[in-house]
Amino acid sequence: GRPTIHAYVAAKAGLHGLTRSTAAELGRHGITVNAIAPGYFATELNTALMSDEAFTKWVETRTPAGRWAQPEELGGAVVFLASDAAAYVNGHVLAVDGGLSVSL
């Protein structure tokens, strides 16, 4: 396993809780609060992970999409949440992860 995964998991859970609680608090003022939970994206930040053959194989076999995401694939979710189409979406964490979160 990865030695720092516990800190990552705790931080991620905190962001989910913060999104929900802030949405509940600010919703009455017409303010929506949502978040995006990205999966594994092929970015410069993930170069070390992408060069790890075992980890890349894990991503490709565990993710129903079967691959790393490309950065531009995050844009649609951002545009949606910032648009009027999401006016009644509040307190949601939108997974953009190729299905990884539902396959674990």
Task: Give this prediction's pTM.
Answer: 0.88
pLDDT tens, residue by residue, 40-74? 999 999 999 999 999 999 999 999 999 999 999 99
The number of folded domains in the chain is: 1
Residues belonging to the active site: 8
The residue among 1 and 12 whose pLDDT is bigger is 12
Q: What is the pLDDT of residues 74-86, one digit of tens each?
A: 999 999 999 999 9
Query: Three-class SS string for the chain?
Result: CCCCHHHHHHHHHHHHHHHHHHHHHHHHHCCCCCEEEECCECCHHHHHHHHCHHHHHHHHHHCCCCCCECHHHHHHHHHHHHCHHHCCCCCCEEEECCCHHHHC
| CATH code (residue 19) | 3.40.50.720
Q: Which domain holds residue 82?
A: 5-103
